[in-house]
Amino acid sequence: MLRRLAHLIWGAEVDRALRPVLAVTLIGSLAGSSAWSFMGIWAIEDLGATSAQLSFGYLVGAIVAGLVGHAGGHLSDHVGRRGLILAGEGLLAITLPLFLLAGSDVLLGLGLMVGAGALGSFGGSAGQAMVADLVPPERHEVAYASVRVAANLGVTMGPPAGSLFLVAGGWHAFFPGVGLLAVAAWWLAFRLLPRGGAYAPTSPPQRGSLGVIVRDRPYLLFMAASVFSWLVYVAYETVLPVSLVESHGLPTWGWGVLVVINPLLVTLFQLRLTRSLAHVSMVPKWVAGVLLMGLPFLLLGVTSAIPVIVLVLVLFVLGEMLWVPTSSAIVAGLAPDDLRGAYMGAFAGTAATGFALAPFLGLQVRDASGDAAMWSAFAVAAVVSAAVGATVCRRAESRAAPPPPSALLEG
């Protein structure tokens, strides 16, 4: 049964070397989603934090997670991917039960939230770099799409799992239960993940990653484009439900029903879409992906009828399915082999920036000028990201492309 389900979702073309990463990603995502789906509720209802304190905690957590993600990626270039992934999952498993010690100490509770978010990102960049270590460059995009499907499955199953822990014994069962899921992810990583890969660097880097990144103008340009695209992506997760419920009269339970569209479509169609467009250049996929995420928001300024909302969600997830694997493939194409982890870690910082700024800037514009102005701002961000990213996509493809046969003969 499980084999048939896996074949339905991933098909038969997943690289054998990648399968351990998929298993670890699935269970790790399940643990993380179980925790973070209810973390805000815990902070307000049990810890006693105010909304302002919680938003500040999220902001600090996003910044720290970005910094730790880069540090983890950098270290993975020197000590190996597997060790960093094991360290991140292991420390997270230890940290989660400690939330029960916070009581009503808001500072301690929010500090644990920041720490848990940082630990969750510690091995994330190493995991992304490991994908490129295991599969050839021409398979990067499909490989990252496969990993994304595994992560999405974990995100889909996480909230129900967290709910079961809460029903079983409240917060005193929730945090140890989620901690056990993190232990399971650590155990799978320990048993399954390889120490290297067929396409991994043969030796640690002999140069500092920061100096190389700072001098890599195409990569810095890609980072800038990614910040704008992450602003659009995070707007879907954080700002859109607020807008639909408060400005357009959608009941809260209605958003809970509609939001299922995203994980369902990703699970069923992400790999199929990526494989069918494998022959297409990165440039149109990046441009179309970002624009499909950002421009449909403008429809909400015309009408908020349910069919239009559903259309916006479908177009967004279509763009997301184009943009996410293409982004990871671009990083892998731009990164020098010996600094792959550091480049992945720096890219993770753009996601942290998006999570930190999108709700803050979006809601500020909304309060000052209304929903239409807010969605116009995110549409502009999508256009900027598409324009800037298109140039970088070409450079990434040229770096990743193998040299022509004549060049090999001359060498």
Q: Sorting pLDDT into bands at 50, 70 and 90, what band is 294?
A: very high
Name every residue whose Cβ is closer than 8 Å to that of residue 236 and which is 6 or more positions away in sequence: 293, 316
Q: How far apart are CA 391 and CA 59, in angstroms?
A: 31
Instruction: Please tell me which residue, 237 or 30, carries the higher pLDDT value.
Output: 30
Length, in residues, of the chain: 411
Name every residue whose Cβ is closer than 8 Å to that of residue 182 and which is 6 or more positions away in sequence: 28, 31, 89, 92, 93, 96
Summarize pLDDT for 325-343 with one digit per residue, the tens.
Answer: 888 888 888 888 888 888 8
Place of tokens 């899921």: 181
Segment 138-147 shows an average pLDDT of 85
Question: For residue 229, what are the CA distances in angstroms to 117, 158, 183, 239?
Answer: 22, 26, 33, 15
125: helix, strand or coil: helix
Contact 90, 358 (CB under 8 A): no
Backbone phi and psi for residue 12, each to the nearest 5 degrees, phi listed first: -105, 10
Q: For the chain, give every domain's residue range.
A: 13-198, 207-400
Contact 324, 232 (CB under 8 A): no
Query: What's the pLDDT at 400?
Result: 53
Q: How far apart are CA 341 and CA 124, in angstroms?
A: 10
Q: What is the homologous superfamily of the domain 13-198 according to CATH?
A: MFS general substrate transporter like domains (1.20.1250.20)
Q: How far apart are CA 341 and CA 114, in angstroms?
A: 22
Intrachain domains 13-198 and 207-400 with the same fold = yes
**Residue 123 in tokens:** 């091995």
Instruction: Please tell me which residue, 230 or 68, carries the higher pLDDT value.
Output: 230
Range scoring the smallest mean pLDDT among 74-83, 152-161, 282-291: 152-161
80 — alpha (psi -120 to 50), left (phi > 0) or beta?
left
Query: What's the pLDDT at 15?
Result: 72
**Residue 40 in tokens:** 């805000």
Whether the pTM exceeds 0.85: the reply is: no
Summarize pLDDT for 304-325 with one digit per residue, the tens.
Answer: 888 999 999 999 999 999 998 8
The CATH number corresponding to 207-400 among 3.30.1280.10, 3.40.605.10, 1.20.1250.20, 2.60.120.380 equals 1.20.1250.20
Whether 408 has a pLDDT exceeding 50, the answer reads: no
Report helix angle 140-169 to 306-334, nearest 10: 120
Whether 88 has a pLDDT exceeding 80, the answer reads: yes
Summarize pLDDT for 12-21 with one digit per residue, the tens.
Answer: 566 788 889 9
Q: How far apart are CA 29 and CA 60, in angstroms?
A: 22
Query: What's the pLDDT at 108?
Result: 94
Query: What's the pLDDT at 303?
Result: 85
Query: What's the pLDDT at 406?
Result: 41
Contact 323, 293 (CB under 8 A): yes
